[in-house]
Amino acid sequence: MNKDIPDIHDLLQDLSWYFGNQGFDDECCEDLSLAEYMALKKVYDIQNITIKELGVSLNITKSGISKIIDRLEKKCYVSRHQSSSDGRICCVLPTEKGNNAIHKISNRYSEYLDEILGAVDEEALQNIKDTLELLFKAIQDKGFIKSN
Amino acid sequence: MNKDIPDIHDLLQDLSWYFGNQGFDDECCEDLSLAEYMALKKVYDIQNITIKELGVSLNITKSGISKIIDRLEKKCYVSRHQSSSDGRICCVLPTEKGNNAIHKISNRYSEYLDEILGAVDEEALQNIKDTLELLFKAIQDKGFIKSN
DNA sequence: CAAATTAGTTGACGATGGAAACTAAATGCA
DNA sequence: TGCATTTAGTTTCCATCGTCAACTAATTTG
């Protein structure tokens, strides 16, 4: 094994702590929990995604994701729609409020990140992006570390 | 703002989901929650760290971190020691079991990451590590996004 | 030495997500 | 066609977790 691998994992884990629950919420993200935000983002990115697909892609059980969508719907960020072709399937769409929230939160975080990375030049930013993309694709292909 | 910033944030957030609670636990990490593992890692990295310092560095309230240490102590991963110079202060040390757990879990994750990044050449790995280090340092300097 | 500050603990509480049982719809196959 | 099986989603019960606020004990301040 390459000697950098453990260090890379360590860094990923520490970074994730910042971008996970510990770095989330507060005045930033309205009344959304991290899980709710992640689900809303998926709903925004993949319009008409089903409950099941949401659960799989976020690695949350179906009862878990069902309740997350309950909360998002109650707070008017998304709406459920029964599929016309298969009555069992429930498709989720963002509402106007949902779309706005995604934009607002994304902007807020981008400003934060911009402050942090203000001194980094464009080429380096491009490299950061490429690197993260490479990492994400690799990890996504492999699936979650847990059973899945 | 550089156009890559929002993409970088998005990638960081998605990656963090994998390395946060959603990608954690199960057969991998014995009976440790992610928060417990992060605390244990800090205790391991900074021997004799105080409860207060742990809370600050992990961005957890003092009652929260106190209970996390309770659990780690009950499961015999760490031990508390009263400071001899200041009776209010409680220093935390990993036990043998704690040290072993850190090594074991770190290895487990490194193997996982090694599988994922197996095809990546050494130079690229070095770049990944450098990039993540740059990111982490920048974010660490800035502090958590929330009040703190 | 009394008041204020600081470190840490505890109890009550709310939020959250999983397991299992359940409903309803679709599919398989005889 | 018709019943058994599978699939999507919901609901109930429950355990875990971290926060807030109140508390104890030790230290510092003046």
What one-character-per-residue DSSP string does A51-108 give? HHHHHHHHT--HHHHHHHHHHHHHTTSEEEEE-SS-TT-EEEEE-HHHHHHHHHHHHH
* Residues of chain A contacting B32 with CB distance shorter than 8 Å: none
Residue A43 reports pLDDT greater than 90: yes
Other beta carbons within 10 angstroms of residue B55's beta carbon come to: 19
Question: Smallest Cα–Cα separation from A37: which of A124, A105, A117?
Answer: A105
How far apart CA B145 and CA B119 sit, in angstroms, is 35
Q: Do A4 and B125 touch (CB under 8 A)?
A: yes
pLDDT at A71 > cutoff 50: yes
pLDDT of residue B147: 33
Mean pLDDT of A113-139: 89
> What CA–CA distance (Å, rounded) separates B75 from B37?
12
Minimum-distance CB partner of B15 among A115, A132, A144: A132
pLDDT tens for residues A82-100? Answer: 999 999 999 999 999 999 9
Name the percent of chain B lying above pLDDT 70.
Answer: 93
Q: Does position B40 have pLDDT exceeding 90, yes or no?
A: yes
Cβ neighbors of A66 (< 8 A, separation 6 or more) are: A51
At A148 the pLDDT is: 30
> How close A86 comes to chain B (CA, Å)?
30
pLDDT digits (tens, 9 = 90+) for B96-145: 999 999 999 999 889 988 988 888 889 999 999 999 999 888 888 776 64
Residues of B (52-71) whose Cβ lies below 8 Å from A:
58-60
B21-142: CATH topology is Arc Repressor Mutant, subunit A (1.10.10)
The CATH architecture one would assign to domain A32-116 is Orthogonal Bundle (1.10)
User: pLDDT digits over B129-141, tens only?
Assistant: 999 999 888 888 7
CB contact under 8 A, B16 and A19: yes
Residue matched to tokens 């770095």: A23
Top mean-pLDDT range of A136-140, B29-33, B79-83: B79-83
